[in-house]
Structure 1
Amino acid sequence: MPMNRGQFVISMDFELYWGLRDICPISHYLGHSAKEREIIPKVLNLFEDSGIHATWATVGLMFFESKEQMLQGLPSRLPAYQDVNLSPYPHLTSDGVGTDEQTDSSHYGLSLIRRIERTRYQRVSTHTFSHYYCLEAGQDSAEFQADLRAAVQIAKSQGIQLESIVFPRNQVNPAYLPLLLPEGVRAYRGNPEHWLYKRGYSTGDSLLRRALRLMDTYLNLSGFHSYTLESPKRGEPVNLPASHFLRSYSGKLALLEPLRRRRILRGMTYAARNKQVYHLWCHPYNLVDERGSNLKLLEEIVAHYKKLQSLYGMESRNMEELSDQILGAVPARERQIMLGPMEWSKEANA
């Protein structure tokens, strides 16, 4: 689908400790990553002041006000991962989760969700209810559907309509995509087609794959992954693939920082010149480091976007706005076929 201008998209995977629970102890999170709560207001101010439209894909378990409420809002079916460590539910029902956000800021995030919701140009979307892994062995589509419905329900109870999804660890399961539209989810963040990224991330990824991804952060091994918009397949939401991951700052690789910065800015420039989409993503905790280097890099990225806006008319769009742009460009009859009768009826009556 041809575009008149390049599009700059930012999506944030907002998960607190729920997204790190299976790979690091809570002590590590509290000692470092928990400072993301201080970073988020700074990022929101930067985005609002600079006109940056962003999507914040948020784990559903963070929406609750208390543990009692959380236990009452669990999905009707829980994931049966072969690796039981992947499931957060034993952690939830033990003493691993406190009673509310005041006593446990690592698991509850409603105050920050409200802050995001109040900030201009920002949208709250879903990162699934439980940080659900769609490609891990043992789980199935019925369990994912129950998880998704629980996420939609808790967001709705807080007055938030979920319209897009980011799959945890970027594990996009094509078989699950038709389950999204009936729940009102019209867009998802897909993966680049390159073999390094196509199937997302997993703790079982080979050392070679991980090493090449790290190298690709600094050297353009796989391409810019910018793209033109495409209409969705029938019965599936709009795919807005990621272009680049804003990885955490590494002091050990500090000498390579100019290469990392150049890699991102060149990708943005390429997209702006060629009227394509550049989709940057990260977790808020990726912006945490003692020197503030990654937050400074984000500020430079935003400043470069403003330059590209002036030179080439590049626009900032969140995932929801860009999916609306795609669907709005499709003739009504074709859109009805793509969305299916149920979702088309919702749109027609909106």
Structure 2
Amino acid sequence: MPQPVFTISLDFELLWGVFDKVGNSYPPDYFANTRELVPRILDAFGNHGIEATWATVGMLFAENEEEWHHYSPVHKPSYRDVKLSAYEFAKQKGLDPKVHFAPELIKRILETPGQELGSHTFAHYYTLMRGQSPEQFRHDLKASQRIANEKFGVRLKSLVFPRNHINELYLPICLEEGYTQARSNPKDWFWQETQHEDFSKKWFRSADCFFPIGKRTSFVPNELIALPLEPLLIPASRILRPISKNNMLFNAVRLSRVKKEMSLAARLDETYHLWWHPHNFGTDPAAAMAELEDLLSHFQKLKAEYGMVSRNMENLAAMVCSRANPETMAVGR
């Protein structure tokens, strides 16, 4: 029987997600706020019965620089633009535990019911950038699985590609390395080939967060098909854009858009997949947490009225697989 689903995935990166854009030039309290916010987000999820997938950069699993070196793969990405390499950045700028390591937060994620620990690759790997190779990508995925398994006893199953750079030729590698589902982009043209960031794509992506410019982004789970040699691709519906401290109208309109899309998905028995980066909350933590509480309360209303349920990526994929084949209760193939 069809049932509306609310799915959340978070790209947990700290500085590894933006080092090639900001270097060490970030507000001093930005990532400190993020570290304090992760347990608060987890508490909010727990209070509202929310499942979520935390797609985590593998380097965050390390305790210190020695452990970081131990788990880093021998075959590293050979980007033509060396500024894209996390390894080159660490070599030049050094490693700071406050922004590069977070094993205590990963432990907290695993201790919270309904939370899935997923992968954002080991080194925030860009699969569409020139110079890197399929085998280097494979070694990156192996490094994430190794550190997750040896430190936390976890086998990672859900993958989110950094910067939403999805190289379709690499999808069989993902499945071979244990990733049975991955987040994909919405179907609108301005979400495709995200490595080519021209002004028009950025403008349409931004505008669509406020006004319905693109197609409806919620979807029917039964329409998702896992190809034999690839992970199940679970489309994103909407990114929860960061708070704008100086524009209350901006904040209200974009939040209203998300809530309206959630409501429509609930009425149509569809799935709505919201995602963001935890560090997006670091600019204005109080306002960001208030918005999150508003969204989760809205989910509770949709749950009461339409039977909407919360599922992380792994459990959503299991639902898809079980409906396609009632004798199969997991996506593992």
- TM category (shorter chain) comes to over 0.9
Letter in 1 for 2:124: H
Deviates more, 1:208-217 or 1:23-32: 23-32
Q: CA RMSD in A?
A: 2.0
Q: 2:48 maps to what in 1?
A: 50
Letter in 2 for 1:132: Y
Separation of aligned partners in 2, 1:243 and 1:165? 16
Q: 1:8 maps to what in 2?
A: 6
1:235 aligns with 2:229: yes
Deviates more, 1:82-91 or 1:212-221: 212-221
> What stretches of structure 2 of length at least 5 have no aligned partner?
none
Does the C-alpha gap of structure 1 residues 255 and 183 become closer, same or farther in structure 2, counting only changes over 3 Å?
Answer: same
> What stretches of structure 1 of length at least 5 have no aligned partner?
99-103, 345-350
In the TM superposition, residue 66 of structure 1 has moved relative to its aligned partner by 1.9
Separation of aligned partners in 1, 2:138 and 2:68? 18
1:152 aligns with 2:145: yes
In the TM superposition, residue 288 of structure 1 has moved relative to its aligned partner by 2.2
Separation of aligned partners in 1, 2:210 and 2:287? 15
User: 1:66-215 to 2 correspondence within 5 Å?
Assistant: 66-98=64-96, 104-158=97-151, 159-200=153-194, 202=195, 205-215=197-207
SS at match of 1:329: helix
SS at match of 1:233: coil
Separation of aligned partners in 2, 1:167 and 1:120? 25
Give the share of equivalent positions with the same residue, in percent: 36
1:256 aligns with 2:254: no
CA contact (8 A) 2:121 2:141 kept: yes
Letter in 2 for 1:85: K
Separation of aligned partners in 2, 1:52 and 1:288? 21
CA contact (8 A) 2:138 2:177 kept: no
Deviates more, 1:282-291 or 1:83-92: 282-291
Provide the TM-score with structure 1 as the length reference: 0.89
In the TM superposition, residue 29 of structure 1 has moved relative to its aligned partner by 5.0
CA contact (8 A) 2:245 2:284 kept: no
**Superimposed CA distance per residue, residues 87-130 of structure 1 (whole angstroms, 9 cap, x where no aligned partner):** 011222345204xxxxx210001000000000111111100000
In the TM superposition, residue 180 of structure 1 has moved relative to its aligned partner by 1.6
Q: 1:20 maps to what in 2?
A: 18
Separation of aligned partners in 2, 1:152 and 1:331? 28
In the TM superposition, residue 6 of structure 1 has moved relative to its aligned partner by 0.5
Provide the TM-score with structure 2 as the length reference: 0.94
In the TM superposition, residue 26 of structure 1 has moved relative to its aligned partner by 1.9
Deviates more, 1:39-48 or 1:131-140: 131-140
